[in-house]
């Protein structure tokens, strides 16, 4: 059975991507050398659900289900800002910029995506949805002193608010893992709102 690696996400506007890239450059100058694998700025997105290995034969059903989700959802007003790390600053593994929803629309959209994907063989996440934008992942086996320095740097860096986003669509995206990093290709984009059931097919190009 042929499979591809996919996820569902909100693609960010270029203005926010440029701001995130600037934050990455700022941090890269300060973190211990070779301690973080930085995400390519053009690949930063707000993940709603990671599907993982996805049977190609299920793609049409996934598109149809996501179109239904989009048609019943409302656009999401989001604020991007604040720096943090998972699981915490003492043991940083992922460095992220936060996303704050201005209403319940984002949480409702994410829950609807979870419900729509469950019958297709993609069970809900076992943890709460925490909207964030991943800037980089901490490398394995870095010295404890460097790990501590990295967590302290993230905790003490104030990036403020980077901007606001009106999310009016989301996408089904293919991820291909390469030595140079993951390459993302949108497979379909869905307008949020009454016209959302109409799938907008995006060009087959990396983002």
* Catalytic residue annotation: 45, 132
Measure CA of the first residue to CA of the last residue in the chain; give whole Å: 27
- 3-state secondary structure (DSSP) of residue 102: coil
Q: Are 64 and 19 in contact (CB under 8 A)?
A: no
- How many Cα atoms within 13 Å fall on the side-chain side of residue 42? 9
Q: Are 34 and 145 in contact (CB under 8 A)?
A: no
The burial class, CB within 10 Å (0-12 / 13-18 / 19+), for 28 is: middle
Q: Are 5 and 52 in contact (CB under 8 A)?
A: yes
Beta strand pairing status for 132-138 and 76-86? Answer: unpaired
Beta strand pairing status for 76-86 and 161-167? Answer: antiparallel
What does DSSP assign to residue 87?
Answer: S
């Amino acid at each position: 059975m042929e499979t591809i690696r996919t996820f569902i996400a909100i693609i960010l506007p270029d203005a926010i991507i440029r701001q995130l890239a600037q934050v990455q450059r700022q941090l890269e100058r300060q973190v211990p050398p070779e301690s973080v694998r930085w995400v390519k700025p053009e690949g930063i997105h707000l993940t709603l659900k990671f599907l993982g290995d996805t049977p190609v034969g299920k793609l049409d059903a996934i598109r149809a289900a996501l179109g239904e989700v989009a048609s019943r959802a409302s656009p999401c007003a989001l604020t991007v800002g604040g720096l943090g790390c998972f699981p915490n600053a003492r043991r940083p593994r992922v460095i992220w910029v936060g996303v704050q929803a201005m209403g319940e629309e984002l949480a409702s959209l994410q829950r609807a995506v979870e419900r729509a994907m469950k019958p297709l063989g993609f069970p809900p996440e076992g943890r709460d949805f925490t909207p964030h934008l991943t800037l980089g992942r901490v490398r394995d086996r870095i010295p404890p002193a460097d790990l501590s320095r990295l967590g302290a740097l993230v905790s003490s860096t104030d990036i403020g608010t980077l901007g606001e986003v009106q999310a009016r669509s989301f996408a089904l995206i293919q991820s291909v893992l390469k030595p140079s990093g993951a390459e993302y290709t949108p497979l379909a984009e869905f307008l949020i709102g009454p016209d959302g059931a109409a799938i907008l097919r995006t060009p087959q190009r990396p983002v």
